[in-house]
Amino acid sequence: MRNQQKKELARSLYIKSRFTRKEIAATVGVTEKTLRTWIQKENWDELKANESITRNQLLRTAYKQLQKINEFIDNELGGIPNKEMSDAKAVIRKEIETLSDRPLYIYIEVAEEFQNWLLQNHPKQLKPVSELLLEFIEHLAKNESM
C-alpha cells in the first residue's frame, strides 16, 4: 500500500471508527508518530467532531420531527394523515435513511412482519419474542441517538 493510501485509510478509520491511535497505526502500517503528525497537520480531530456531532444531531432532530408529525396526525387529524403530513413524513423518513447506517424503521418493519408470522404460526412464542424484539429495537434507538 502506498503512503497516500495508508493516509486515506488512517483518516477514514480515525474519523469513523472507535479504534485507538495505536490500533490505527498498526492497521495501516505506520508509526504512531506518523499518524499523530497526519492528525495534527490535517485537523482530523475537527473533522471527526464535525462528522459525528452533525450526523447524530441531525438524526436525533429528524426522529423528534417524525414523532411530532405522528402526534399531530393522531391528535389533530384523527390518526389519518393528510397529503401535507404524508409528504412531510416521507421527507423525514428519507432523511433518516440517508443519515443512518442502519435505518431504525427497517428493523421495526421486520419486527412487525415477524410478529405477524409468529401470531399465525407460533402464537405461544409471540409474547416472549415480542418483548425481546422491543428490547432490541430500544437498544438500537438508544445507540443511534448517541
Q: Are residues 106 and 96 in the same domain?
A: no
CB atoms within 10 A of CB 123: 9
The answer to whether residue 73 scores a pLDDT higher than 60 is yes
The total domain count for the chain is 3
Q: Are residues 89 and 107 in the same domain?
A: no
Q: Is there a contact between 21 and 35 (Cβ–Cβ < 8 Å)?
A: yes
What is the pTM (predicted TM-score) of this model?
0.40
Share of residues in the chain with pLDDT > 70 (%)? 91
Amino acid sitting at position 31: T
The answer to whether residue 137 scores a pLDDT higher than 70 is yes
Mean pLDDT of 5-33: 87
Positive or negative, the CA dihedral 78, 79, 84, 85 is positive
Q: Are residues 9 and 19 in the same domain?
A: yes
Q: How far is CA 144 from CA 43, 54, 87, in A?
A: 26, 13, 24
Q: Is there a contact between 119 and 37 (Cβ–Cβ < 8 Å)?
A: no
CB atoms within 10 A of CB 92: 19
Give 30 or 54, the one with higher predicted confidence.
30
Q: Are residues 34 and 60 in the same domain?
A: no
Helix (H, G, I), strand (E, B) or coil at 78: coil
Q: Are residues 36 and 66 in the same domain?
A: no
Classify residue 16: in a domain, yes or no.
yes
| DSSP code per residue over 65-77 | HHHHHHHHHHHHS
Domain enclosing residue 13, as ranges = 3-42
Classify residue 47: in a domain, yes or no.
no
The answer to whether residue 59 scores a pLDDT higher than 70 is yes
